[in-house]
A and B are shown apart, each in its own frame.
Chain A
């Protein structure tokens, strides 16, 4: 398996523009997570899905952020409008709930480095 695939790897945009980050989880995984990494706040959970359904979005910082999972192999994280403080690395991760022990293991993508000027 190719692992969790994220695109783009790098995104530079201007304040006010819409940004869409994309993720393809590992085939067969039923949980998908969006994390954000910054120097100040470290790794933070933004939202997660189970079987394509959003379960907990309490980590989403503002209404400017939204996430969707239209099918089991694709998810998007959208920021509209973007602001300089949104600059961070955004990671997608997936896991499989075969059993509790397996479900604990997160597999991360390589991330999207977002810079908002």
Chain B
């Protein structure tokens, strides 16, 4: 099965700074990589995803980059705001290829944005 490693486990930034979270995966057949944000007391919510046929995808202040050769992908948040504070999870299909919802999640990154 897939193995997903996520770093760092905690990240503290000042409001307005950028935040970067990195993940590596093991199965070269994986071709779908989502990022989820989990706020306290809530379920994970999809914030952005990328497929293996592109190297980068942006959505306003968030972006994801993918390096298939190195088998790693990263989440970039620019101009961070206190409401970005949450736990962020990367994921990959748990048996390679497409996921259809069957995901292996990283360990999570606790992001704290200080006003």
Binding site for B on A (CB under 8 A): 4, 31, 33, 42-43, 45, 48, 56, 91, 93, 95, 97, 100-101, 103-111
Give the A-B pair count, Cβ closer than 8 A: 59
Number of interface residues of B (CB under 8 A): 24
B interface, over-half SS: loop
Least distance between B112 CB and chain A CB atoms (Å):
18
Q: Are B103 and A106 in contact (CB under 8 A)?
A: yes
Q: Are A108 and B45 in contact (CB under 8 A)?
A: yes
Indicate which residue in A4, A31, A56, A100 contacts B43 across the interface (CB closer than 8 Å). A4
26 inter-chain pairs at a CB distance below 8 angstroms, sorted by A residue, are A4-B43, A42-B105, A42-B106, A42-B107, A43-B44, A43-B89, A43-B103, A45-B104, A48-B101, A48-B102, A56-B102, A97-B100, A100-B100, A103-B100, A103-B101, A104-B34, A104-B49, A105-B46, A106-B34, A106-B46, A106-B101, A108-B36, A108-B43, A110-B41, A110-B42, A111-B42
